[in-house]
């Protein structure tokens, strides 16, 4: 069994909450008492039938306003997979929440209302999914019941979407016609749409291949913590604790510590307190080096034959996430994995219109939810790869030095 993390993107009216509710309900992940709570809810909109969208409503503020104000995480399992859903709201003002939810996702479900077809927000959601590099995309064409389960409507939306997103080079797109409200093509293939002969949604989610989403080639382990018991018995024990973000390590591998560039060899690898001969991506381990060199939190241990870039100048795509606008020349902390350095946003190359995907070169103020390309100078060199190559070592956040708030998501080019 493995884990698939996915995000759902759509606006309030696309039936996103209903879709999630339907997946949870039909996979029997909603318990009796939770259903009772929904039934007792005063605002059950549909007379008699259960309003599945209420399952995902979290906070009182949301129930009062009938909106989703933040990313909520939901869980369900089938015998094949554990699923983690990041339920992100689709309003314009909450682009930052979608970016947040998308950052750890293997897959994005982009909802389109069959009556409306491809809309501005469809483009926005797809752009974000593509910027964040989500490997798999499902375009869920919802509310098919309201267009008479028409194959033409479905086909036209597929054509429109393909054309509109051509420039984004999406890797893998799956189109599924469905009705979240009535359960068509969610768990079982809909009898209302015999012309659709492919997988229903849940089956697709259970079987989409995600093994290749992890990079097993480029070995990168950021050091999080140095274990030094300094007891009599373990006087010389010095282990570098961290999670292997990509690639793998074997005993005897020649390694380089960055940004310092010091070299050594792997003496031993521990995983869960047990010595192992090799370890690979996603494992949390402790590495021991042959030589007594200076290694501390924030350093990255890589194989000497395959090094990332080390530089103080970064070209990045960014999403601005703070209500305070970006002031040119302001300094921010830049955090990438366990490394934190001071940095400055130098030049803004262009801003991306997230609805039309056009580049705007006129210098405008960067505000909340803006997506733009810029250059950043860091106070000392950091090790990184391009985000396209390695999500884990090409990503960073900017932190406001005075408020400590996370103000931007950075994808290094």
H or E element: which one contains 128? helix 120-131
Contact 289, 264 (CB under 8 A): yes
**Which residue in 148, 194, 237, 293 binds another protein (CB under 8 A)?**
237
Distances (CA, A) of 233 to 228, 236, 291: 12, 8, 20
Q: Which of residues 28-47 bind another protein (CB under 8 A)?
A: 28, 31-34, 37, 41
For another protein, give the closer residue by CB, 63 or 324: 63
Query: Which residue is listed with tokens 């033409």?
Result: 152
For another protein, give the closer residue by CB, 193 or 399: 399
Q: Which of residues 362-401 bind another protein (CB under 8 A)?
A: 391-392, 395-397, 399
* Candidate segments 45-53, 115-123, 236-244, 258-266, binder of another protein by CB under 8 A: 236-244
Compute the least distance from the CB of residue 160 to another protein, in Å.
31
Contacts of residue 166, defined as CB under 8 A and 6 or more positions apart, other chains included, come to none
Q: Which of residues 307-346 bind another protein (CB under 8 A)?
A: 321, 333, 335-338
Dist CA 352 CA 207 (whole Å)? 34
- Per DSSP, the three-state class of 275 is strand
Using rule CB under 8 A, residue 1 touches another protein: yes
For another protein, give the closer residue by CB, 35 or 344: 35
Would you state the structure tokens that stand for residue 382, as one six-digit string?
């950091």
**Which residue in 174, 189, 243, 307 binds another protein (CB under 8 A)?**
243
Would you state the structure tokens that stand for residue 196, as one six-digit string?
């659709």
Dist CA 229 CA 152 (whole Å)? 68
Contacts of residue 116, defined as CB under 8 A and 6 or more positions apart, other chains included, come to none
Would you state the structure tokens that stand for residue 341, as one six-digit string?
């350095």
Give one DSSP letter per residue of 177-235, joined into a string.
E-BTTTTBTTSS--TT-TT--S--HHHHHHH---GGGS--SS-EEE--EEE----STTT
**Which residue in 169, 209, 211, 232 binds another protein (CB under 8 A)?**
211
Using rule CB under 8 A, residue 71 touches another protein: yes
* Number of shown-chain residues binding another protein (CB under 8 A): 71
* Candidate segments 44-52, 96-104, 115-123, 305-313, binder of another protein by CB under 8 A: 96-104
For another protein, give the closer residue by CB, 97 or 378: 97
For another protein, give the closer residue by CB, 55 or 118: 55
Using rule CB under 8 A, residue 60 touches another protein: yes
**Which residue in 262, 280, 331, 386 binds another protein (CB under 8 A)?**
280
Using rule CB under 8 A, residue 75 touches another protein: yes
Contact 249, 284 (CB under 8 A): no
Q: Mask: binding to another protein, 282-311, rule CB under 8 A, as x and -?
A: xxx------------x--------------
For another protein, give the closer residue by CB, 51 or 113: 51
């Amino acid at each position: 069994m493995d884990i698939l993390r996915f995000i759902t993107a759509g606006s309030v009216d696309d039936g996103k909450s209903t879709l999630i509710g339907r997946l949870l309900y039909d996979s029997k992940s909603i318990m009796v008492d939770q259903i009772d709570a929904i039934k007792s809810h005063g605002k059950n909109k549909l007379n008699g039938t259960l309003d599945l969208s209420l399952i995902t409503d979290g906070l009182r503020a949301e129930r009062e306003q009938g909106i989703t104000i933040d990313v909520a995480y939901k869980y369900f399992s089938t015998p094949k997979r554990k699923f983690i859903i990041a339920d992100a709201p689709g309003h314009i003002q909450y682009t930052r929440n979608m970016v947040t939810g998308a950052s750890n996702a293997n897959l994005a479900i982009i909802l389109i209302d069959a009556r409306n077809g491809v809309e501005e927000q469809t483009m926005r959601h797809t752009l974000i999914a593509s910027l964040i590099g989500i490997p798999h995309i499902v375009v869920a064409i919802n509310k098919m019941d309201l267009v008479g389960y028409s194959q033409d409507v479905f086909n036209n939306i597929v054509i429109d979407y393909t054309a509109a997103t051509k420039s984004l080079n999406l890797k893998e797109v799956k189109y599924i016609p469905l009705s979240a409200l009535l359960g068509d093509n969610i768990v079982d293939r809909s009898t209302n749409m015999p012309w659709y002969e492919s997988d229903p949604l849940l089956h697709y989610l259970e079987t989409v291949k995600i093994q290749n989403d992890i990079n097993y080639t480029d070995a990168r382990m950021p050091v999080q913590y140095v274990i030094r018991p300094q007891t009599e018995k373990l006087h010389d024990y010095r282990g570098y604790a961290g999670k292997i973000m990509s690639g793998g390590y074997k005993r005897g591998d020649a390694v380089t510590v960055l940004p310092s560039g010091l070299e050594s060899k792997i003496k031993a690898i521990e995983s869960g307190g047990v010595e192992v001969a090799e370890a690979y991506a996603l494992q949390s381990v402790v590495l021991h080096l042959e030589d007594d060199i200076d290694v501390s939190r924030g350093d990255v241990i890589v194989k000497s034959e395959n090094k990332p870039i080390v530089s103080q100048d970064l070209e990045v795509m960014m999403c601005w996430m703070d209500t305070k606008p970006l002031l040119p020349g302001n300094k921010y902390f830049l955090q990438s994995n366990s490394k934190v350095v001071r940095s400055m946003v130098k030049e803004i190359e262009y801003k991306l219109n997230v609805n039309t995907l056009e580049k705007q070169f006129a210098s405008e103020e960067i505000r909340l939810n803006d997506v733009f390309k810029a250059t950043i100078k860091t106070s000392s060199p950091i090790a990184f790869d391009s985000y396209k190559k390695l999500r884990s070592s090409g990503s960073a956040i900017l932190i406001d030095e005075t408020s400590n708030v996370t103000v931007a998501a950075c994808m290094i080019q």
